[in-house]
Amino acid sequence: MDTLSGAEVKTIAGLRVISHQGHIIMSKQVTHLGFPWPEFKKRIQIPRSWIDAHNEALRQGLTPRFMGVYRYGTTTVFVDFDPSTYVLRKANNSAAHVATNDLFQAQVHGTFTRVDARHNRLTSIRGDRLAEYLDTGQTARDPHIETLDAFNREFVDGKRVEALRAVSEMHDAAWPDRFQGEWPGFYLEFRLHAFLGRAGSDHVRFVKTKGRDAFDYDLEFIRKSHIDFLGDLKASDYKKPETPGNDADDIRRCVEQYGRFWYVIYEHSTRHARDNGDAATIEWNEWKRSVGYVKRTGFDPLSYARRFKESVNFFRVKILEVNSANFDTVLGDFTQGRQPSGEARALKVMIKKRYIDNFLVYSYEPGIGPEEESSRAVLF
């Protein structure tokens, strides 16, 4: 292996491997899954012989590694698959998956780590960083993600957020959107804004009031006192396979200008008031009237009854990066009908959750939602 000075070939449990400073490296070429899978889905095959070599390496006090090798032009990216989830499988020839975005992130940042939908941990490493990665076991840490991770550990606390409690908090702070029917998303904005104010972050800004001709997004990610790139907050019901995004032309221009864009998505389970006799809807409308807010059409105790959320549980956070390598894969276009004037509304993008592995850069789920999982935070 040319990138590892002093590495040598040896045999362990009958398998030829690369040995480097206590690491036993088993490697295969990264290839596309093939038709009908999307182009971004790639993999290596893990044969039974790797499991045997893995177990023998552990018995000898060595560190076994399952590694994929991807070459494109003059660039080489290695993908280090944590073996712990693969050695438990009974299949003789299981697959370890990697996405095009994993390779892209390593090429740009040097190293990149994430956990996929099946809880497998993988790290992509640019060739010139492989020796350092093996020697130290460290990957680069992103201060933007560290800031949001700190907020998530406070906000995603396992407790259901009741509607009246949330809107009352916003009202006490004179939050501009305290009377909006879709309160969960605005409550998320309110809490993040308050957290950043207390934390005094130099890396993430929540932008409530946008300047003229500025992009209409919630988040600015700062590096050395300047805007590095932009992002947007989304609150999404976990049952929905897609999440509406933003104006398609604006997103494309934003990626062209800054190189990347982050969707920070907070998934929640939902209880609708309509399933509980509309009691929460009536309580909400009466509360609004009690604090002096009445619609021009007059008071209606069942206003917004069909859609009003009695409570939500924010249980999972994902940061999705849109960049030049994945833009046309992870986002689909959708239209929203016509404006009252009859003109067609601007084309928007739709975030396709089934393609999430090709633009996931961070996930956090402390095991409190409907799909019980242990917590994880992935930084690069």
> What would the pLDDT profile of 229-240 be if each residue is shown by its tens digit?
999 999 999 988
> What pLDDT score does 333 carry?
45
Low-confidence residues in the chain, pLDDT < 50 = 91, 333-340, 342, 344, 368-377, 379-380
Residues 212 and 350 in one domain: yes
Question: Amino acid letter at 258?
Answer: Y
Can you give the residue range of the structural domain that contains 47? 8-136
Residues 73, 103 within the same domain: yes
According to the model, what pLDDT value does residue 119 have?
Answer: 83
171 and 203 belong to one structural domain? yes
Same domain, 227 and 333: yes
171 occurs within a structural domain = yes
| 43 and 69 assigned to the same domain | yes
**Count of structural domains, the chain:** 2
Distances, alpha carbon 248 to alpha carbons 38, 283, 337, in Å: 22, 38, 15
What pLDDT, on the 0 to 100 scale, is given for residue 373? 41
Q: Is residue 1 part of a domain?
A: no
Q: Which are the contacts of 193, defined by CB distance < 8 A and separation ≥ 6?
A: 206, 208
Distance CA 79, CA 8 (A): 20
3-state secondary structure of 276: helix
Q: Is residue 75 part of a domain?
A: yes
Same domain, 88 and 190: no
178's tokens: 């305290």
The helix (H) or strand (E) run that includes residue 57 is helix 48-59
Q: Is residue 377 part of a domain?
A: no
- Dihedral of CA atoms 172, 176, 178, 182 in degrees, nearest 10, equals -160
192/56 same-domain check: no
Name the phi and psi angles at 360, rounded to 5: -85, 125
- Any domain includes 199: yes
> In 3D, which of 379, 332, 380, 374 has the Cα closest to residue 85?
374
pLDDT of amino acid 330: 55
pLDDT at 219: 97
pLDDT of amino acid 103:
95
The predicted-structure confidence for 11-37, as pLDDT tens digits, reads as follows 999 999 999 999 999 999 999 988 888
